[in-house]
Amino acid sequence: MNLLKALSTVSALTLLSRITGLVRESLKAVGFGAGLQMDAFEAAFRLPNILRRLFAEGAFSQAFVPILAEYKRGRGNDATRDLVSRVATLLAVLLLALSVLGIFAAPWLVYLLAGGFVRTPGKVELTAELIRIMFPYVFFISLVSLAGGVLNVHRRFAIPAFTPVLLNVSIICATIFVAPHVDPPIVALAWGVAVGGVAQLTLQLVPLARLAMLPRPRFDWRDEGVRRVLRAMGPAVLGVSAAQISTLINTQLAAYLGDGRISWITYADRLMEFPSAMLGVALGTVLLPSLVQHHHDANEEQYRALLDWGLRLTFLLALPAALALALLAVPLISTLYQYGRFTPNDVWQTRDALLGYSVGLIGLIAVKILAPGFYARQDMKTPVKIAFLTVLVTQVLAVAMMFQIGHAGLTLATSLGACLNATLLFVTMRRRGIYVPQRGWPLFLGRVTIALAVLGGVLWWASGAEGFWVTAGLWVKVGRLSLVIIAGALAYFAALWLVGFRFADFNRREHQ
């Protein structure tokens, strides 16, 4: 299997997901702006999203995928299928109970998520209603993530990468066709989330059946494999919950700063997630099964070479993405969001949040490469310790900076925390000999630096004055932004080619 080709497939489908996600966010901005209803929706959606990351894409996948890959490698299909069935049954029971609890506890959850909402009449009640509608999404999307883990271990990366598109399409349809006919209109978006979860799970069932990995109800928590997953989940839950606790605290802090802050941060977060998912999530998805395989085969040389390959791609692609987010903050935000109730002030405020996020993009993506280096060895404790230290530092910075630069201080603190996390993971890997840099790093970084300087100059010159973007019409902005992005990309890769870089050097094959 060609890893670069697999990465390109996952990244392309992730790009499709992010494009539909941007359409979704643009429609939300047009219809709801950054006011009371959107604040309520974003706060209500935050807890299901946190639980999804905790039980599915975060702690669960970190604990489950390495063990599943080990079963596939050493025990055969029957044992692997039995493990999938037992783990899926246990996960479904736990999440069904959690979903029911969340529906009944919705009013109390609002105070946990955004206590500052009590100062606005009706905001708590609306948020609670949205939580009740969206909480079952946790059940469906967690099973989607389990199915995606099984498919990824079998190197079937395309379907799991495509499924988020269905959630975006569901919310888009709800915004266009349902919202105008319900009161309050924001309720339609909540139902779009719930329906999207069902659609995503349905799509995964066919490829699972083709692999003969479709789970059957088998409740046996005493099974050796299940107990190993549960034991691994303990520290993994702590590690992922550290980041989610940080998110909850930031939501509370933003709520107390006043109306609009949560929405501005969320709109900026969506843009930052675009390169984060295309690079970090895609790389982590493709790397983990191969890292597990090399560790199982005791091939440390290939293990280190694979990590090095991932880190070089991170620097090659994440640094220009971060620079583009910073230099094109206003053009991107205005072109994508500034319609309907989304005002010029919303553009400037979202820009401030995005500038804070752009500082930490390289750290955020690097964590998604470095952390699997520990997970593949079934070492969950080291990333957990580092994560909690990072959260502590992040929140101290957040509280200190929010009084100086408002909501932008929260995003900047998050970025600095991500860079600290990546640095500590890297230093720990080096000290333990898990990762040894391959030859050629100084020359590689020198070439990237030259190309970044060229990219920065082209973007700064081509984007022009920020005032143009908040006054120009839609198609004028779309056309100019497209030209700016194309010019920047051509300039960056042309500069890399001129200084001797060749993408063929990144071709890497892995045996399944």
| 472 assigned to some structural domain | yes
User: What is the tally of structural domains in the chain?
Assistant: 2
Helix axes 261-275, 329-337, angle to 10 degrees: 110
Structure tokens at 141: 């999307």
| 379 assigned to some structural domain | yes
Helix axes 361-375, 407-432, angle to 10 degrees: 40
If pLDDT is split at 50, 70 and 90, which confidence band does 332 have? Answer: very high
Q: How far is residue 314's CA from residue 242's CA, in Å, rounded to a whole number?
A: 24
Same domain, 472 and 384: no
What's the pLDDT tens digit per position in 455-474? 999 999 998 888 889 888 88
The residues, ordered by sequence, that sit 6+ positions from 197 with a Cβ below 8 Å of its Cβ are 136, 137, 139, 140, 141, 144, 167
What's the pLDDT tens digit per position in 383-399? 889 988 998 999 999 99
End of a domain among 401, 423, 438? 438
Same domain, 450 and 363: no
The yes-or-no verdict on residue 330 having pLDDT over 90 is: yes
- The whole-number pLDDT of residue 133 equals 94
Name the residue with higher pLDDT: 95 or 445. 445
Helix, strand, coil percentages (3-state) for the chain, rounded to 5, are: 85, 0, 15
- Phi/psi for 88 (5° steps) reads -65, -40
The residues, ordered by sequence, that sit 6+ positions from 412 with a Cβ below 8 Å of its Cβ are 355, 356, 359, 360, 397, 401, 405
- The whole-number pLDDT of residue 42 equals 86
- The whole-number pLDDT of residue 38 equals 86
CA-nearest of 141, 134, 155 to 68 is 155
- The whole-number pLDDT of residue 159 equals 92
- The whole-number pLDDT of residue 54 equals 64
The yes-or-no verdict on residue 55 having pLDDT over 70 is: no
Same domain, 257 and 405: yes
Tell me if the pTM is above 0.75.
Answer: yes
- The whole-number pLDDT of residue 441 equals 93
| 456 assigned to some structural domain | yes
User: Where in the sequence is the domain holding 57, given as residue range(s)?
Assistant: 3-438
What mean pLDDT is predicted for residues 231-238? 76
The residues, ordered by sequence, that sit 6+ positions from 351 with a Cβ below 8 Å of its Cβ are 268, 329, 330, 333
Same domain, 268 and 240: yes
- The whole-number pLDDT of residue 508 equals 67
The yes-or-no verdict on residue 244 having pLDDT over 80 is: no
| 511 assigned to some structural domain | no
What's the pLDDT tens digit per position in 34-47? 678 888 898 888 87
- Phi/psi for 424 (5° steps) reads -65, -40
Q: Where are the alpha helices (DSSP H) in 105-216?
A: 106-114, 123-134, 137-153, 158-162, 164-173, 186-210
Same domain, 362 and 487: no
End of a domain among 419, 438, 457? 438
What mean pLDDT is predicted for residues 410-432? 94
The yes-or-no verdict on residue 234 having pLDDT over 90 is: no
| 83 assigned to some structural domain | yes
End of a domain among 412, 438, 464? 438
Same domain, 95 and 75: yes
Mean confidence (pLDDT) of the chain: 87
Same domain, 52 and 176: yes
Same domain, 246 and 390: yes
What's the pLDDT tens digit per position in 199-225? 999 999 999 999 999 988 888 777 888
DSSP 294-334: HHHTT-HHHHHHHHHHHHHHHHHHHHHHHHHHHHTHHHHHH
- Whether residue 129 contacts residue 187, with contact meaning beta carbons closer than 8 Å, is answered with yes
What's the pLDDT tens digit per position in 150-164? 998 888 888 988 998
Measured between alpha carbons, how far is residue 107 from residues 100, 148, 189, 387 in Å? 14, 33, 19, 30
- The whole-number pLDDT of residue 274 equals 82
Minimum mean pLDDT range among 49-58, 76-85, 471-480: 49-58
| 434 assigned to some structural domain | yes
What's the pLDDT tens digit per position in 1-14? 677 788 888 888 98
Same domain, 429 and 452: no
- The whole-number pLDDT of residue 112 equals 79
Minimum mean pLDDT range among 221-230, 246-255, 408-417: 246-255
What's the pLDDT tens digit per position in 273-294? 888 888 887 888 788 888 888 8
Q: At which residue do the structure tokens 């020198």 appear?
A: 446
Structure tokens at 187: 């309720």
| 512 assigned to some structural domain | no
- The whole-number pLDDT of residue 53 equals 65
Report the percent of the chain where pLDDT is more than 90. 41
